[in-house]
Homo-oligomer: A and B are copies of this chain.
Amino acid sequence: MSLDRTAICDYFLSLQDSIVTSLEHEDSKRFHEDSWKRDGGGGGRTRVLLDGVTFEKAGVNFSDVSGEFSEEFARQIPGDGRSFTACGISLVIHPRNPFVPTVHANFRYLTRGSRAWFGGGVDLTPYYPFREDVIAFHKIWHKACLEHSNVANYDKLKNWCDEYFFLPHRNEPRGVGGIFFDYLDSNLDEVLSFVKKCGNSFVSSYLPIVKKRKSHEYSEAHKEFQEYRRGRYVEFNLLYDRGTIFGLKTGGRIESILMSLPLKVRWLYDYQPKLGSREAELYDVYLKPKDWAREV
Residues of A within 8 A of B (CB): 32, 34, 48, 50, 57, 59, 169-170, 227, 231, 234-235, 238-239, 248, 254-255, 258-259, 261-270
Q: Chain B nearest CB: distance from A29 CB in Å?
A: 13
Residue pair A264, B261 in contact (C-beta under 8 Å): no
**Chain B residue at minimum C-beta to C-beta distance from A51:** B268
Asked, given contacts A231-B261, A238-B234, A238-B239, whether A48 binds B269 with beta carbons under 8 Å apart, the answer is yes
Of all chain B residues, the one with the shortest Cβ separation from A230 is B265
B261 x A170 contact (CB < 8 A): no
> Can you report 9 A-B residue pairs in the complex whose CB atoms are below 8 A from each other?
A32-B269, A48-B270, A57-B267, A227-B264, A238-B238, A238-B239, A259-B269, A264-B264, A264-B265
Is B265 a contact of A267 with CB atoms below 8 Å?
A: yes
A171 closest partner in B (C-beta): B254
A228 to chain B, nearest CB (A): 10
Dominant SS among interface residues on chain A: mixed
Query: In the complex, are the beta carbons of B268 and A265 less than 8 A apart?
Result: no
Selected contact of A248 from candidates B169, B254, B258, B263, CB within 8 Å: B169
A235-B238, A238-B239 known; A262+B267 contact, CB < 8 A: yes
What's the number of copies of this chain in the assembled complex?
Answer: 2
Chain B residue contacts of A48, Cβ below 8 A:
269-270
- Chain B residues near A238 (CB-CB < 8 A): 234-235, 238-239
Tell me, in angstroms, the Cα distance from A133 to B159 when the chains sit together.
53
Residues of B within 8 A of A255 (CB): 269-270
The residue among A235, A263, A265, A266 with the most chain B CB atoms within 10 A of its own CB is: A265
Q: A238-B235, A264-B264 are in contact. Are A50 and B269 (CB under 8 A)?
A: yes
Q: What chain B residues lie within 8 Å of A169 (beta carbons)?
A: 248, 254
Q: Once the chains are docked, how many angstroms separate the CA of A49 from the CA of B255?
A: 33
Docked complex Cα distance between A61 and B254 (Å): 33
The residues of B that contact A235 with a CB separation of less than 8 Å are: 238, 258
Chain B residues whose CB sits within 8 angstroms of the CB of A266 once the complex forms: 263-265
Q: Please report the C-alpha to C-alpha distance between residue A270 and residue B238 in the assembled complex, in whole angstroms.
A: 18
Residue of B nearest to A234 (CB): B234
Looking at the assembled complex, report how far the CB atom of A157 sits from the nearest CB atom of chain B, in whole angstroms: 28
Q: Which residue of B lies closest to A34 (CB)?
A: B270
A235 vs B238: C-alpha distance in the bound complex, in angstroms?
A: 7
Closest B residue by C-beta to A32: B269
